[in-house]
């Protein structure tokens, strides 16, 4: 034992008491029990003596050294004494104070940096949305779904990501970010709760789930409700963009089910594995509908769970096999034309307003495979409707149908083709003549 005492009083009796309290014999044991030091003046309890000595005497254990400056560490109880030289787990008090000060300064600097970066981030956002009439079809469709979730507050107040749960079964932050990137939504960092934004390696990061958004004002200063209402009257004929949004939505619908199943079997997955599963499902959706992929997910997750019980497997290893199993199963099902059963939509997983908009506008649901979705989008536009393998008459007929419907001339076109055929005009010419009579939407747009 190697104890140094620093008396903070001139009282000789207290100094003697302190010497006796901390005196140690050759075997490293305290020479006297605390209660043997009693009574001391009017003190009759051990705890009172201990308290008195703490007030008037600082004790340093020379066997414990500060890891930063090697000074002896201050102790305040007998139990803290070390019998042999050892590095202390904590720094000495002066070093701790200096460290605390440095940490405070670093935190204050970090807060200033964060405020500066947030300010720059807010200023970099566009002041107003791009023209609402020039919005791409996917943004317009998403906007209608968001309006349905927040009705009637979308145009009047900020909203949190957590208020938009009803938009889609999963991936709501990604859908909102899609609208932000399109300039329709503005992030409102000043309205978000503390901790939403932070710096990671000096870069500004926001927690997607706690972000706050508001609708970007219209450039013309027009009333937002009227602009949103006008989106209902769109033709919605940009097939590639609509298809891309539909795939994103359907992947989210699959992943909501996947997360429930994975939690049921306590599978823990890394973000990279989740991203891989999303990619596999996205490709799978070109041939299978969401309801079929639910049954595939159910099978694959259950198989991985039974694997976890094998001797050479554990939960983490078994969960890591899920992406590979999923990919192999979908590939095999396609190659061998296996029947993939459809699951019914789980009760606790509603389609969300985005799903409802797809159903209302295009008749698509969890039972629609990608080929059907593409057909539903592409049949609205001559640009996307024609298939390269189609014979010329087929392409003409398809174009005639689309153009007749958009010009509200369906009956007149059929009559004209019928009359032309009756008078002996070949089919191809009859179709071409009827097509010529109708206004060309591409020419009108140009
Ligand atoms: Zn120190």
Q: Are residues 48 and 160 in the same domain?
A: no
Compute, in angstroms, the gap from residue 77 CA to the centroid of ligand 1.
Answer: 20
Give me the sign of the Cα torsion angle 260, 266, 268, 273: negative
Q: Are residues 209 and 334 in the same domain?
A: no
Cα(286)–Cα(372) distance, rounded to whole angstroms? 9
Q: Output the pTM of the full model.
A: 0.72
Q: Are residues 148 and 82 in the same domain?
A: no
Omega before 411 within 30 of 0, i.e. cis: no
Q: How many CB atoms lie within 10 A of CB 229?
A: 12
245 assigned to some structural domain: yes
Q: Are residues 37 and 151 in the same domain?
A: no
101 assigned to some structural domain: no
Task: Report the pLDDT value the prediction gives residue 444, as an integer from 0 to 100.
Answer: 47
Compute, in angstroms, the gap from residue 81 CA to the centroid of ligand 1.
Answer: 18
117 assigned to some structural domain: no
Cα(279)–Cα(282) distance, rounded to whole angstroms? 5
Q: Are residues 129 and 80 in the same domain?
A: no
Compute, in angstroms, the gap from residue 86 CA to the centroid of ligand 1.
Answer: 14
Compute, in angstroms, the gap from residue 110 CA to the centroid of ligand 1.
Answer: 26
Compute, in angstroms, the gap from residue 341 CA to the centroid of ligand 1.
Answer: 69
Compute, in angstroms, the gap from residue 65 CA to the centroid of ligand 1.
Answer: 8
173 assigned to some structural domain: yes
| Residues written for the chain | 446
Task: Report the pLDDT value the prediction gives residue 233, as an integer from 0 to 100.
Answer: 83
pLDDT digits (tens, 9 = 90+) for 392-401: 788 788 788 8
Q: Are residues 251 and 360 in the same domain?
A: yes
Q: Are residues 340 and 422 in the same domain?
A: no
CATH code assigned at 139: 1.10.10
Compute, in angstroms, the gap from residue 24 CA to the centroid of ligand 1.
Answer: 26
Compute, in angstroms, the gap from residue 93 CA to the centroid of ligand 1.
Answer: 7
300 assigned to some structural domain: yes
What percent of the chain has pLDDT above 90?
55
Compute, in angstroms, the gap from residue 94 CA to the centroid of ligand 1.
Answer: 6
Q: Are residues 129 and 79 in the same domain?
A: no
Q: At 153, phi and psi to the nearest 5?
A: -95, -10
Compute, in angstroms, the gap from residue 99 CA to the centroid of ligand 1.
Answer: 10
Task: Report the pLDDT value the prediction gives residue 393, as an integer from 0 to 100.
Answer: 81
Residue indicated by tokens 């450039």: 219
Q: Are residues 198 and 284 in the same domain?
A: no
Of 204, 230, 256, the residue that ends a domain is 230
98 assigned to some structural domain: no
Task: Report the pLDDT value the prediction gives residue 125, as an integer from 0 to 100.
Answer: 82
Q: Are residues 212 and 256 in the same domain?
A: no
Compute, in angstroms, the gap from residue 365 CA to the centroid of ligand 1.
Answer: 68
Compute, in angstroms, the gap from residue 67 CA to the centroid of ligand 1.
Answer: 7
Compute, in angstroms, the gap from residue 2 CA to the centroid of ligand 1.
Answer: 18
Compute, in angstroms, the gap from residue 72 CA to the centroid of ligand 1.
Answer: 8
Cα(375)–Cα(370) distance, rounded to whole angstroms? 8
Compute, in angstroms, the gap from residue 82 CA to the centroid of ligand 1.
Answer: 18
Cα(63)–Cα(437) distance, rounded to whole angstroms? 102
3-state secondary structure of 205: strand
Of 68, 91, 114, the residue that ends a domain is 91
Compute, in angstroms, the gap from residue 32 CA to the centroid of ligand 1.
Answer: 31
Compute, in angstroms, the gap from residue 96 CA to the centroid of ligand 1.
Answer: 7
Query: Long-range contact list for 75-78, CB < 8 A, 24+ apart?
Result: 77/50, 78/22, 78/30
Query: Long-range contact list for 372-380, CB < 8 A, 24+ apart?
Result: 372/289, 373/243, 373/246, 374/239, 374/243, 377/236, 377/237, 377/238, 377/239, 377/242, 377/243, 377/246, 378/239, 380/235, 380/236, 380/237, 380/239
Compute, in angstroms, the gap from residue 98 CA to the centroid of ligand 1.
Answer: 9
Task: Report the pLDDT value the prediction gives residue 446, as an integer from 0 to 100.
Answer: 34
Cα(149)–Cα(142) distance, rounded to whole angstroms? 11
Compute, in angstroms, the gap from residue 104 CA to the centroid of ligand 1.
Answer: 18
439 assigned to some structural domain: yes
Compute, in angstroms, the gap from residue 92 CA to the centroid of ligand 1.
Answer: 4
Question: Among 11, 9, 18, 10, which residue's Cα sits nearest to residue 60?
Answer: 18
Compute, in angstroms, the gap from residue 74 CA to the centroid of ligand 1.
Answer: 10
3-state secondary structure of 326: helix
Compute, in angstroms, the gap from residue 16 CA to the centroid of ligand 1.
Answer: 29
Q: Are residues 247 and 216 in the same domain?
A: no
Compute, in angstroms, the gap from residue 20 CA to the centroid of ligand 1.
Answer: 28
Compute, in angstroms, the gap from residue 87 CA to the centroid of ligand 1.
Answer: 11
Task: Report the pLDDT value the prediction gives residue 404, as an integer from 0 to 100.
Answer: 83
Q: Are residues 278 and 350 in the same domain?
A: yes
Per-residue pLDDT of the chain (446 residues; tens, 9 = 90+): 589 999 999 999 999 999 999 998 888 889 999 989 889 989 999 999 999 999 999 999 999 999 999 999 999 899 888 888 877 788 999 999 999 999 999 999 989 999 999 999 888 887 776 788 889 999 999 999 999 999 888 988 899 999 999 999 999 999 999 999 998 899 998 889 988 999 998 889 999 889 999 998 887 777 888 888 888 888 898 999 999 999 999 999 999 999 999 999 888 889 999 999 999 999 999 999 999 999 999 999 999 888 877 777 777 788 889 999 999 999 999 999 899 999 999 999 999 999 999 999 999 999 999 988 988 898 877 776 666 666 778 878 878 887 887 778 889 999 999 999 999 999 999 999 998 888 776 554 43
Compute, in angstroms, the gap from residue 69 CA to the centroid of ligand 1.
Answer: 4
Cα(418)–Cα(363) distance, rounded to whole angstroms? 30
Compute, in angstroms, the gap from residue 4 CA to the centroid of ligand 1.
Answer: 16
Compute, in angstroms, the gap from residue 57 CA to the centroid of ligand 1.
Answer: 20
pLDDT digits (tens, 9 = 90+) for 281-324: 999 999 999 999 999 999 999 998 888 777 777 777 888 899 99
Task: Report the pLDDT value the prediction gives residue 390, as an integer from 0 to 100.
Answer: 67
Of 313, 342, 372, the residue that ends a domain is 372
391 assigned to some structural domain: yes
Compute, in angstroms, the gap from residue 1 CA to the centroid of ligand 1.
Answer: 20
Range of the domain at 158: 125-230
Provide the domain count of the chain.
4
Compute, in angstroms, the gap from residue 352 CA to the centroid of ligand 1.
Answer: 60
């Amino acid at each position: 034992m190697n104890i140094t005492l620093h008396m903070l009083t001139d009282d000789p009796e207290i100094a003697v008491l302190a010497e006796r309290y901390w005196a140690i014999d050759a075997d490293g044991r305290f020479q006297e029990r605390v209660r043997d030091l009693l009574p001391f003046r009017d003190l009759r309890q051990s705890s009172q003596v201990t308290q008195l000595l703490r007030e008037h005497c600082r004790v340093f254990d020379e066997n414990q050294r500060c890891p930063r400056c090697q000074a002896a560490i201050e102790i305040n109880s007998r139990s803290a004494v070390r019998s042999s030289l050892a590095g202390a787990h904590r720094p000495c008090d002066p070093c701790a104070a200096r460290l605390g000060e440095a940490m405070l300064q670093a935190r204050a600097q970090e807060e200033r940096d964060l405020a500066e970066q947030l300010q720059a981030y807010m200023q970099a956002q566009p002041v107003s949305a791009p023209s609402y009439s020039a919005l791409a079809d996917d943004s317009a469709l998403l906007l209608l779904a968001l309006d349905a979730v927040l009705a009637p507050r979308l145009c009047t107040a900020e909203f949190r990501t957590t208020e938009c749960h009803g938009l889609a079964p999963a991936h709501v932050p990604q859908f909102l970010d899609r609208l932000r990137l399109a300039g329709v939504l503005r992030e409102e960092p000043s309205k978000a709760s503390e901790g939403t934004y932070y710096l990671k390696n000096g870069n500004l990061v926001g927690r997607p789930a706690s972000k706050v958004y508001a609708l970007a004002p219209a450039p013309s200063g027009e009333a937002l409700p009227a602009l949103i209402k006008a989106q209902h009257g769109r033709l919605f004929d940009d097939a590639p963009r609509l298809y891309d949004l539909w795939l994103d939505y359907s992947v989210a619908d699959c992943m909501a089910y996947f997360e429930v199943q994975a939690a049921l079997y306590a599978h823990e997955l890394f973000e990279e594995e989740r991203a891989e599963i999303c990619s596999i499902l996205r490709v799978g959706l070109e041939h299978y509908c969401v309801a079929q992929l639910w049954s595939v997910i159910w099978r694959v997750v259950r198989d991985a769970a039974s694997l976890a019980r094998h001797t050479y497997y554990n939960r983490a290893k078994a969960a890591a096999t899920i992406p590979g199993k999923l990919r192999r199963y979908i590939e095999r099902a396609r190659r061998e034309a296996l029947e993939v059963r459809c699951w019914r939509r789980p009760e606790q997983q509603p389609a969300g307003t985005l799903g409802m908009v797809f159903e209302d506008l295009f008749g698509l649901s969890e039972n629609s495979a990608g080929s059907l979705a593409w057909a539903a989008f592409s049949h609205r536009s001559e640009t996307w409707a024609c298939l390269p393998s189609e014979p010329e008459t087929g392409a003409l007929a398809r174009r005639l149908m689309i153009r007749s419907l958009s010009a509200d001339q369906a009956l007149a076109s059929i009559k004209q083709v019928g009359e032309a055929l009756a008078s002996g005009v070949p089919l191809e010419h009859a179709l071409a003549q009827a097509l010529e009579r109708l206004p060309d939407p591409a020419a009108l747009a140009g």
